[in-house]
Structure 1
Amino acid sequence: MGFLVVKRNRCHVMKRSKTLKQKDYDILAELVRDGRITYTELARKVGMSPAGVLKKVRSLEEEKIILGYTAILNHEKLSKKLKLLIFVKCSAGKHSIVARQIKKVAADSILEIHEITGDYDVVVKAVVKDRNEAKDLIAQVSSIPHVVSTSTSMVLDTVLERPSIAPS
C-alpha cells in the first residue's frame, strides 16, 4: 500500500497517490450532484454497499480529492445583491503578496481570489450589499501596497455558476 523513502538516514513510509477507479468517479459525480446524499442512497446509485462507499469516500477525503462539503447560499436573499469582478494590476512580481493581502482586507465579501495571466494579475469575485459597499471594497483593494490599478465589472446575470464539476 505504501513505499519506503529514506531521507538523511531516516525511513518514512509514504502513501502512494490514489489511482482513481470508475467507482470513484461515479461516487464523485453523485456527490457533486447532491452533497447531502446518504451513504445508503449513494451506494444504491453506484452499485456498492454502504460500507464500501463510506470507505471510498473517506479515502477520497484523505487523498484531498474531496476537499470539503458546504452549503450553497443565495446571496441575494442575504442582502448581498451585487456581484463584482475586480481586476487588479500589481507591481512586477508582487501578485502573490497582493492576493494574500486582499484575502485579509475584506474576507466577508470575497468569494474567490485568483492569480491570473493577461492584462491583470489578480481577479477577485465578491458579493456586496449595495454600491456604497462596492465602492468601499474597491477602495480597500486599491489601497493595498503594490496595487497599481483596478478595473471593476458588475455581474448583470449569471448564466452558469457551480462550485464543482463532475469528473469525467
Structure 2
Amino acid sequence: MPNLDLDPIDCRIVAELQADGRLSNVELADKVGLSPSPCLRRVKRLERDGYIEGYRAALRRDRIGLGFSVFLGVKLDGHTNERALAFEKAVVAMPEVIACHLVSGEADYFLEIVVPDLAGYQRFLVGKLLDLPIVREVRSNIAIQTLKAGAPLPLEHFETRQSKRLPKTAKKT
C-alpha cells in the first residue's frame, strides 16, 4: 500500500498544483495558507518523495493534429517474461502510444494511441504494432468523442484518511 502520510496542507498543495501547475510559489503559498519559504520546502519534499512526478502542458489533441484516438486490446502470443518485456520496451518507445497498461481479462495489454487520422492509424497498426512478432491479436476501439481525458487525480481519500486520524471530541450535553 502506498505511503499516504500527507497532512491537510500537503493535500491542498497537490490539489492546487493539479489544477494549475503554473502557479508561482507565492500564489501557491497564498492559496494554501503558508508563507512562501515553507510552501517551497513542502513542494520540494513532495517532488523528492515522488508524490509530484513532474509538470507539463496539457495540449488539445485536435488543435495539434492528433484528434484520432484509438484504444487497443492486445493479446500476446505466449507469455514468457523475456518476450513480454521486449513487447513493453517496444511499445513504450512508440510516440503514438500515450498510455500502456498490463491488464487482466480478455487482453494482455490495453493501449491508448493518438494519430492524425485513420490512415495514420493504419500506418501505426500495420507498420509498427503488428510488426512485433509476439502480438497475436489486436482489438481496436475508435473514440468517437472524448468527454473527459487527462483529469486530475481524485484526492477525496486523503480527506477520509485525515478524518480517521483526528481525535474524537467529547459531545457537549
Same fold, judged at TM 0.5 (above): yes
Q: 1:127 is aligned with what amino acid?
A: V
- Return the match for 1:101 from 85, 90, 114: 90
Q: Deviations over 1:55-89 (max 9, x none)?
A: 00000000011000000011111111201112100
Distance (Å, rounded) in 2 between the aligned partners of 1:59 and 1:44: 18
Q: Deviations over 1:1-51 (max 9, x none)?
A: xxxxxxxxxxxxxxxx78211111010011111111111111111111111
Partner residue, 1:60:
46
**Does the CA contact (< 8 Å) of 1:102 and 1:144 recur in 2?**
no
- Return the match for 1:80 from 46, 62, 66: 66
How far apart are 1:166 and its partner, in Å?
Answer: 4.2
Distance (Å, rounded) in 2 between the aligned partners of 1:47 and 1:92: 55
Aligned to 1:35, what secondary structure does the other structure show? coil
TM-score scaled by length of structure 2: 0.81
**Does the CA contact (< 8 Å) of 2:19 and 2:152 recur in 1?**
no
Q: 2:86 is aligned with what amino acid?
A: I
- Unmatched runs of 5 consecutive residues or more in structure 2: 157-173
1:143 aligns with 2:131: yes
Partner residue, 2:76:
90
Aligned to 1:74, what secondary structure does the other structure show? coil
1:162 aligns with 2:135: no
Distance (Å, rounded) in 2 between the aligned partners of 1:95 and 1:112: 16
- Between Structure 1 and Structure 2, which shows a larger proportion of strand residues? 1
- Return the match for 1:70 from 48, 52, 56: 56
How far apart are 1:142 and its partner, in Å?
Answer: 1.4
- Return the match for 1:113 from 93, 97, 100: 100
- Return the match for 1:31 from 17, 35, 48: 17
How far apart are 1:92 and its partner, in Å?
Answer: 3.2
- Between Structure 1 and Structure 2, which shows a larger proportion of helix residues? 2
Q: 1:113 is aligned with what amino acid?
A: C
How far apart are 1:111 and its partner, in Å?
Answer: 1.1
**Does the CA contact (< 8 Å) of 1:99 and 1:115 recur in 2?**
no
Distance (Å, rounded) in 1 between the aligned partners of 2:141 and 2:92: 19
Distance (Å, rounded) in 1 between the aligned partners of 2:5 and 2:19: 22
Count of residue pairs the alignment pairs up? 150
TM-score scaled by length of structure 1: 0.83
How far apart are 1:123 and its partner, in Å?
Answer: 1.2
Two-structure CA RMSD over aligned residues (Å): 1.6
How far apart are 1:163 and its partner, in Å?
Answer: 4.8
